[in-house]
Structure 1
Amino acid sequence: MTSSLRDLKVYTTYPHRCSYLEAEEATTLFIDPRQAVDQTLYSNLSMLGFRRSGNHIYRPHCSHCNACIPARVPVNDFQPNRTQKRCIKRNSDLQVTVRSSVSSDESYALYDRYIRARHADGDMYPPDRDQFESFLNNPWDCTEYCEFRKDGRLLAVAVVDLMLDGLSAIYTFFDPSEDSRSLGRYAVLWQIERSKELGLPFVYLGYWIRNCSKMSYKSDYQPLETLINNQWTRSTEGLIETF
């Protein structure tokens, strides 16, 4: 089952408060939630700049703002910088297990601590078990939950979608008491290595937003490709050109 992209129905939301840029309004384009989705369709939509949240596939569609720029790392050309090498070394004592579910009490307890400590001002606060499972579910049987442990203790979980041309970094949550490890950064570096091992050319990082500190960090992974005017373009010397 693979639907033609031309046949897809899409809907837009009413303008709403932007989650990333203060004082901005956002409009979101959604694929019809009744649309049957498989890995091929999902991969094709990702190449066009769409992302997943739970069962919903979406893309920003704001009339007066184009700050959200899809970004991906071409993994075969990626070389960690000095800071990233130190991060890899600092976390070399972690054991990683890949699972097919995130519904354990242990995972939710970690998520609860993470949201309360790091995102108390965000849309996911206060944390809720139903919201957690619907947000991070495995709707099309292509999601992996990568657990990072030290001596059996769960320190981080990276939610990763396996697509035809790469991995999509959906979300990472971690123990807020382990700030010195830079676990969010390490999870991306680990996914880049995993994508290489799987023979997949890209890691999709979602949207790069220059003026949002929570999203601008993605330019630390070089080279970085961004989707501008419907074409994937490689940034030059760490700079990202906008349109």
Structure 2
Amino acid sequence: MRHTLPIAPQFYVTAPQPCPYLDGRMERKLFTALQGDSATKLNDSLSKQGFRRSQNVLYRPSCAECSACMSARIDISQFSASRSQRRITKRAQHLARRATSPWATEEQYDLFRDYLDGRHASGGMADMDMFEFAAMVEETPIRSRLIEYTDGRALRAVCLTDILDDGLSMVYSFFDPAHEKLSLGTYIILDHIAIAQELGLPYIYLGYWVPGSPKMDYKAKFEGLEIYKGGQWTPLGDPAHHTADVHPLSNDPIAEQVAQIRLPDGRI
């Protein structure tokens, strides 16, 4: 009988490009392909180490002189809704939740376009067409769901969500910008906390939190927020104690970063 050793994932670095969060800075990402029979285990393992999924790629920031971007998750055991968050849940209680397979529709794309035009008209996704949107939704090698929120027959919000072994990862969400009073972005997170509680999962992965970026301020408003910093998860604490200052020794060299990554089979 032939025995074969598992092939270790290969890691690469993107070319520098303008940072979408902090003006005047350049971003760079460390990434690896997500494919094959071990895709789920690799996604679970690397998500715990600050990586995020985009289609069949896992990535995390690896900028040369900046370490402002930090992966964020909510420890549900430490979460307690604030008064304003409870009001948001009450205002949106008429919305119906529907979980579907990751399959893109024209109705979703129309809502996605309204969201981008209203909130991120100059962002990097502003020119996405229907085919690119479908690829973002459907190209997933792991267990993913589209969580839709409807008001009667009208689609109001959508979140592409990965189901990890220890939580839910909110890959991308968008909503109707015309219903600003519903605070749909916050509501989607609050409802995902409820879903995770129903499933007995301890964490909600929110992507990145960036001190000094107004786009990311809302994440710090969730009690129980943790950030991945210095190779471990730690409570956020006071957001003012974190800085987006640039320092030439902020990050380890790429080779050292890769050497420190823990793989699913116990290898480093």
- TM-score > 0.5 by shorter chain: yes
| C-alpha distance in 2 between matches for 1:35 and 1:10 | 16
Q: What aligned pairs does 1:112-123 form with structure 2 within 5 A after superposition?
A: 112-123=113-124
| C-alpha distance in 2 between matches for 1:223 and 1:33 | 29
Deviation at 1:104, TM superposition (A): 1.2
Q: 1:116–1:127: 8 Å Cα contact kept in structure 2?
A: no
| C-alpha distance in 1 between matches for 2:192 and 2:136 | 20
The code of the aligned residue for 1:211 comes to G
Deviation at 1:225, TM superposition (A): 1.0
TM-score, normalising length: structure 2 = 0.84
TM-score, normalising length: structure 1 = 0.92
Partner of 1:79: 80
The secondary structure found in structure 2 opposite 1:177 is coil
- Identify if the C-alpha distance between structure 1 residues 32 and 237 changes in structure 2 by more than 3 Å, giving closer, same or farther: closer
- Which has the higher Rg, Structure 1 or Structure 2? 2
Q: 2:101–2:145: 8 Å Cα contact kept in structure 1?
A: yes
| C-alpha distance in 2 between matches for 1:8 and 1:93 | 45
Partner of 1:135: 136
- Identify if the C-alpha distance between structure 1 residues 32 and 93 changes in structure 2 by more than 3 Å, giving closer, same or farther: closer
The secondary structure found in structure 2 opposite 1:147 is strand
Q: 1:158–1:173: 8 Å Cα contact kept in structure 2?
A: yes
The secondary structure found in structure 2 opposite 1:8 is coil
Deviation at 1:33, TM superposition (A): 5.7
Partner of 1:105: 106
The code of the aligned residue for 2:114 comes to R
- Identify if the C-alpha distance between structure 1 residues 125 and 208 changes in structure 2 by more than 3 Å, giving closer, same or farther: same
> RMSD of aligned C-alpha atoms?
2.0
Partner of 1:206: 207
Partner of 1:215: 216
| C-alpha distance in 1 between matches for 2:37 and 2:116 | 31
The code of the aligned residue for 2:225 comes to L
- Identify if the C-alpha distance between structure 1 residues 9 and 240 changes in structure 2 by more than 3 Å, giving closer, same or farther: farther
- Identify if the C-alpha distance between structure 1 residues 106 and 25 changes in structure 2 by more than 3 Å, giving closer, same or farther: same
Deviation at 1:130, TM superposition (A): 1.5
Q: 1:40–1:163: 8 Å Cα contact kept in structure 2?
A: no
- Identify if the C-alpha distance between structure 1 residues 200 and 138 changes in structure 2 by more than 3 Å, giving closer, same or farther: farther
Partner of 2:230: 229
Deviation at 1:36, TM superposition (A): 5.6
Q: What aligned pairs does 1:137-156 form with structure 2 within 5 A after superposition?
A: 137-156=138-157
The code of the aligned residue for 1:114 comes to Y
| C-alpha distance in 1 between matches for 2:237 and 2:178 | 36
Partner of 2:27: 26
| C-alpha distance in 1 between matches for 2:224 and 2:240 | 10
Q: 2:167–2:204: 8 Å Cα contact kept in structure 1?
A: yes
- Which structure 1 segments of 5+ residues have no match? none
| C-alpha distance in 2 between matches for 1:168 and 1:71 | 10
The secondary structure found in structure 2 opposite 1:190 is helix
Deviation at 1:32, TM superposition (A): 3.6
| C-alpha distance in 1 between matches for 2:114 and 2:171 | 19
Q: 1:18–1:25: 8 Å Cα contact kept in structure 2?
A: yes
Structure with bigger RCO (C-alpha 8 Å, 6+ apart): 2
The code of the aligned residue for 1:154 comes to L
| C-alpha distance in 1 between matches for 2:60 and 2:230 | 14
Q: 2:211–2:239: 8 Å Cα contact kept in structure 1?
A: no
Partner of 1:177: 178
Is 2:38 the partner of 1:45?
A: no
The code of the aligned residue for 2:137 comes to L
Q: 2:35–2:56: 8 Å Cα contact kept in structure 1?
A: no
